[in-house]
Amino acid sequence: MEEFTIPKPPRTNYLNAEYGLKSWLLTKDHKRIALLYLGAISFFFFIGSLYAMAIRLELLSPQGDLVQSSTYNKMFTQHGIIMVFFFLIPSIPATLGNFLIPMMIGAKDLAFPRINLLSWYIYMLGGIVTIYALLAGGVDTGWTFYVPYSTTFSNSYVIATGLGIFINGFSSILTGLNFIVTIHTMRAPGMTWYRLPLFVWAHYATSLIMILGTPVIAITVLLVALERLAHIGIFDPAAGGDPVLFQHLFWFYSHPAVYIMVLPGMGVISELIANFSRKNIFGYKFVAFSSLAIAVFGFLVWGHHLFVASQSVYAGMIFSFLSFAVAIPSAIKVFNWTATLYKGSISYDTPMLYALGFIGLFTIGGMTGLFLAALAVDVHLSDTYFVVAHFHYIMVGGTLLAYLGGLHYWWPKISGRMYPEGWGRFSALVVFVGFNLTFSPQFILGYMGMPRRYHTYPADMVSWQVLHVLSTAGASILGVGLLIPLFYLIWSMRYGRIAEANPWNLPGLEWQTASPPPTENFLITPVVTQEAYEFAPPEHKEVVGKFERQQRTEI
């Protein structure tokens, strides 16, 4: 009798195609570069989290008893710089985006593999320069580098840190450039623009911000460094310069940068919501174009950071209006995700838990943003913990949750192994609880008047201390919730259950190749004949269910 064996996927994949340190450091494979980024970004995230814990510990008590105020200034500055420039901005694009965009569009690699590798080296160089600045004595200007403090009065390593950020910016520019060109020119036959997964649309919008915004911050940081070095007077009123010009230039990048952080997260969430509801996304084109709308509006709202910085009240009104306008495309996304859930076949796997958490937290973060965009309310809330809570709801509740959700969702594709589902769900819940406990008290604190960047507060304000203690307790829970995935994801790389090519049984192109994929992604260039998220094309008799394919008549 003849034995019939199911043909196995080729044993050679991108992970075992070559061995040795050199094969990693000189790789031009987008998937390996994504893993290089994953390692580096995790390292910076760890450092940034340590600073966050130190800040929370200091605020447990009203007195400045853990560190001195100058040390505290350095801690929150370095927390901000590392988290913003070295974790949040590259997080999803450089790891998940790098890994998945070519696979999702059916390409063998990004358009410029060497530039992709170069961007990682630039990122590392910027990181090393920044770490040097931190070790040499640190920097205490706040991540915003406001002049004249940063140019004249600060006695810390402003130039070295600025240089690190300047260098790092080019890595971001090159990543954005690579994505735009790849999405334009490398799509597989049949992969039309409206068949692109929404993850790709979100990254296209993100890349636009990266290439248009990042050069401006680069030249601005350069100007600060030159001003500090040679006192040429461009931001110095004594020489006829204007310090507010710095704020305009800084926020022209740094406000859109918020959308660099959250747009890729929204792309991940669109994937998760559609795929774990096993439904075509509701309003595909609206979700796709709302990403572009956010990118465009994002460039027109920087003035809402200058409401109390001598900006004319009329300019303030326009910026306030435009900031409200950003809520429209953001709400379109939230409503469409919710509508997708309706009558969906929802499964509560770990990625979906993160996705549902994202929707709630992003909504809170976005709505509190509207408080801050309202001129009169902002005067009261400016530079308080309300602002801190607001942007952490977007950056941590939004970007970090999406990043973790995406990492779990594509982990079988990336590593070829399943993560432990029970631990995954448990840690997702711990993260959600810990996050809310950390940051929701800060809304109240800010409303009550606790300013940001202070390391002491009045001892007789018992309610303030209670809220701070709650926040610190939450941060500890959040910390534990983030350590659990660190351990089990590393564990699963060796001991996890072997993943099939398509463990979630999904139609996306990235699932139609082996796990882990071969170096060239697809052995034969795929020809795309379906729309994105096509779970049940009407002409098909079979419906893709989570565990098995069913006949239409059975359901």
Partner 1 sequence: MSEVATTYEAGAHSALQHHFENMEQQREAGTLGMWVFLVTEIMFFGALFLAYTIYRYQYPAAFASASNHLDIRLGAINTAVLIVSSFTMAMAVYSTQVGKQRNTIICLILTMILGATFLGIKAIEYHDKYRDHLIPGQLIPGHPFNPAVAKPGDTDEHKLHLVEGATVHNVELFYWIYFAMTGLHALHMIIGLGIMIVLTIMAWRGRFGPEYHAPVEISGLYWHFVDIIWIFLFPLLYLLGRHLEGRIG
Residues of this chain that interact with partner 1 (CB under 8 A) are: 107-113, 173, 177-178, 180-182, 184-186, 211-216, 218-220, 223, 226, 229-234, 238-242, 245, 249, 520, 525
222 vs 331 by CB, closer to partner 1: 222
Alpha carbons 58 and 358: distance in angstroms, whole number: 29
Q: Contact 431/404 with Cβ under 8 angstroms?
A: yes
Give least dist CB 186 to partner 1, A: 7
180 vs 418 by CB, closer to partner 1: 180
Q: Which two tokens stand for residue 2?
A: 């003849």
Nearest to 300 by CA among 319, 281, 328: 319
60 vs 181 by CB, closer to partner 1: 181
Give least dist CB 215 to partner 1, A: 4
Name residue, tokens 């308080």: 384
Alpha carbons 445 and 430: distance in angstroms, whole number: 23
Give least dist CB 52 to partner 1, A: 31
What is the enclosing helix (H) or strand (E) of 102? helix 98-105
10 vs 538 by CB, closer to partner 1: 10
Give least dist CB 283 to partner 1, A: 29
Q: Contact 504/544 with Cβ under 8 angstroms?
A: no
User: What is the tally of helices (H) and strands (E) in the chain?
Assistant: 17, 2
Give least dist CB 536 to partner 1, A: 31
Q: Which two tokens stand for residue 140?
A: 């205490």
Give least dist CB 114 to partner 1, A: 9
113 vs 545 by CB, closer to partner 1: 113
Give least dist CB 102 to partner 1, A: 8
DSSP codes joined into one string, 24-84: HHT---HHHHHHHHHHHHHHHHHHHHHHHHHHHHHTTSSS--SS-HHHHHHHHHHHHHIII
Give least dist CB 172 to partner 1, A: 10
The H-assigned helical ranges of 151-283 are 158-185, 198-230, 243-277
Give least dist CB 501 to partner 1, A: 21
258 vs 356 by CB, closer to partner 1: 258
145 vs 457 by CB, closer to partner 1: 145
Q: Contact 389/442 with Cβ under 8 angstroms?
A: yes
Give least dist CB 231 to partner 1, A: 5
Nearest to 452 by CA among 242, 144, 157: 144
Residue 280's beta-bridge partner residues?
none
Determine if residue 266 is left, alpha or beta; phi over 0 gives left, psi from -120 to 50 gives alpha, anything else beta: alpha
176 vs 351 by CB, closer to partner 1: 176
Alpha carbons 410 and 103: distance in angstroms, whole number: 12
78 vs 151 by CB, closer to partner 1: 151
229 vs 486 by CB, closer to partner 1: 229
Nearest to 215 by CA among 182, 171, 259, 248: 171
Alpha carbons 225 and 335: distance in angstroms, whole number: 45
